Structure 1
Amino acid sequence: MTKSIAEYSGLELLQAMARGELPAPSITVTMPMSLLEADAGFVRFAAKADERHLNPLGGVHGGFAATVLDSVTGCAVHTMLEAGVGYGTVDLTVKMLKPIPRDVPLVAEGKVLHISRTLGVAEGSIRNAEGTLLAHATATCMILRR
């Protein structure tokens, strides 16, 4: 018998997704990103903006970086949660440091800074292949226990 999603801890769920044993969330189609690594309090994603993510001036819209950073910070918090416990972002502060390039592979990482019974705080970054920091975020997530 197959486990339901609610029976996986956050870390187990994300690691199963990274191995391809469970499908990735649909947001990964809209915002091309894939989970490369998940460990307790840490995640690493690959991401790449494309022609679907451009603003009226032809640059990559800031919403691309904000969405990727919301994903890595939230998933980092999720790695610390037991089965059946959810979370939701209540605050996301994003700093755009350099333009996000189009059609260039990027690495996004999320790391937990603090976790309690009701709140998780994490930081995230997006870097290019050379390691240049393009965007940074901090997020607070409410932990949803039943």
Structure 2
Amino acid sequence: MSDVSETPREYWQRILTSTDMPPATRFVGFELIDFDPEAGWCEAWFCLPEAATNPGGNAQGGFITAALDEVMSLAGSIVQPPPAMSPTLQMTTSFIRPVPTGIRLKGRGEVVRRGKAAIFTEGWLYDEQEKLLAQATASCIPRSMPTQPYSAARMTS
């Protein structure tokens, strides 16, 4: 739960830099760069592991999509009063260039439009030379965060 003395930015900073991230978030190598709750954007580094490699030797599209989903759904979450989340309802990914595994990737997610029933987001994934590798759009559902954080829910299931 959000501490009443925390600003929204402080709350999200604490959550997004937690050492107890969900397994999927850890798998794609999520590392927060920066975010802005008022402007509705989030940036993070990713490093897709060798286990995400497809038969062609690059990252399989589902793992690329997962990295984009992280920054887009986070952008949708941080524009809401904490504690909040924005599960993805629908997502479309365009793969521009092959994405190698094991390299540092930069992801950016932005809120395009925010409504009561849906939040619309866009996301981009770049290599370290700022070459666009993939882009995506998504619609998310604004929701309150479950009362138990990830770690507590894991221990009770």
TM category, shorter: 0.7 to 0.9
In 2, the alpha carbon distance for the partners of 1:67 and 1:26 equals 12
- Letter of the structure 1 residue corresponding to residue 64 of structure 2: A
Q: What is aligned with 1:43?
A: 42
Higher strand share: 1
- Please give the root-mean-square deviation of Cα atoms over the aligned residues, in Å: 2.4
- Letter of the structure 2 residue corresponding to residue 64 of structure 1: F
Residue 29 in 1 paired to residue 37 in 2?
A: no
Q: Unaligned regions of 5+ residues in structure 1, if any?
A: none
In 1, the alpha carbon distance for the partners of 2:69 and 2:3 equals 22
- Change in CA separation of 1:65 and 1:71 when aligned onto 2, cut-off 3 Å: same
Number of aligned residue pairs:
142
Residue 17 in 1 paired to residue 25 in 2?
A: no
- Letter of the structure 2 residue corresponding to residue 17 of structure 1: I
Residue 129 in 1 paired to residue 128 in 2?
A: yes
Q: Unaligned regions of 5+ residues in structure 2, if any?
A: 146-157
- Letter of the structure 2 residue corresponding to residue 67 of structure 1: A
- Change in CA separation of 1:74 and 1:55 when aligned onto 2, cut-off 3 Å: same
* TM-score normalised by the chain length of structure 1: 0.84
* TM-score normalised by the chain length of structure 2: 0.79
1:43-86 CA-to-partner distances (Å, cap 9, x unmatched) read 00101122111113332111111000111110001110112443
